Amino acid sequence: MDLCVEPEIARNRDLVLDRISGTVDLNRACIRGAKERGILSRLMPVLQGWTPEDYIRCLERMPDLSGFPIVGVGSMCRRHLHGPQGILQVVETLDRELRGTPIQLHLFGLKGVGVAELRQHPRVATVDSQAYGTKARVEAREAGMSKTNRFLAQVMTEWYLKQVEALQAPAGENRHPPALLDLRMPPPLSPFEARLHRAREEMRELLEAGEIDWQQLHDESVLAYAFDYDETTPSQSEYALAA
């Protein structure tokens, strides 16, 4: 279980970081539940993030993952292959962070071109994609027909053969991305924003530790938490800044 952070879902940096903390909390719950049921060997933890550094943040806050042979990497399907937030940059960042460990990665929703580019990467164990399902749904709708299992199987077979063909083509020459960029959140601009930032970070830590629920982390609760143990209250102008 994890919380995706694509821009269509997480519209700003705070929501991205909140959902990373929520993912950490869900992973802890899944690991605990898997241990209780004796099925820990069947569990694959999942990392979430949008920038490469986000995934490192998620990894650092997770429980010890050294016993898991494969770790999933979410939010892969709605991004480009290259660029500072591209798939290659994310994989290389995690590869460097996991150096010296046997942990491999499963990439969720990787497009065909990404599969071909990463086919020989020692850190990537497996990938998956629902591209054929989307293609079948679109083609069936455009043709005014039902997306039957037979039609879906036909589209899936054609899609699979194209992937095999791509994997047999010569490997690309530019697999490694440029030097990693500093994509950390910039420092807050005012004392009020700094206070809210600290409060939100503390609430994320509480969420990751299982002290609060995901639903309790939102703008109103952060504002209340920031001034909960202080006799001072935000002024009208501070409220305006927050808005």
DSSP class of residue 126 equals E
Contact 68, 24 (CB under 8 A): no
**Burial class for 17, CB neighbours closer than 10 Å (0-12, 13-18, 19+):** buried
Query: Would you tell me how many other CB atoms lie within 10 Å of the CB of residue 99?
Result: 8
Q: Which residues pair with 134 in a beta bridge?
A: none
Q: Is the pLDDT of residue 92 over 90?
A: yes
**Can you spell out the DSSP letters for 184-222?**
PPPPPSSHHHHHHHHHHHHHHHHHHTTSS-GGG-SHHHH
230-240 pLDDT, tens digit each: 545 555 445 44
93-106 pLDDT, tens digit each: 999 999 999 999 99
- What mean pLDDT, rounded, does the chain reach? 83
Q: Which residues are CB-contacts of 192 (< 8 A; sequence separation ≥ 6)?
A: 234, 238, 241, 242
Range picked from 90-104, 125-139, 193-207 for highest mean pLDDT: 90-104
DSSP class of residue 85 equals T
45-84 pLDDT, tens digit each: 999 999 999 999 999 999 999 889 999 999 888 788 888 8
Query: Which residue, 175, 181, 137, is CA-closest to 156?
Result: 137
pLDDT, mean of residues 179-199? 67
Q: Which residues pair with 231 in a beta bridge?
A: none
Q: Which residues are CB-contacts of 54 (< 8 A; sequence separation ≥ 6)?
A: 5, 16, 17, 20, 48
Residue 16 is encoded by which pair of tokens?
């991205």
Query: Which residue, 96, 27, 102, 36, is CA-closest to 67?
Result: 102
pLDDT band at 198 (very low <50, low <70, confident <90, very high): confident
d(CA 109, CA 129): 4
Query: What percent of the chain has pLDDT above 90?
Result: 44
Range picked from 5-14, 33-42, 80-89, 228-237 for highest mean pLDDT: 33-42
> How confident is the model at residue 183, as a pLDDT?
44
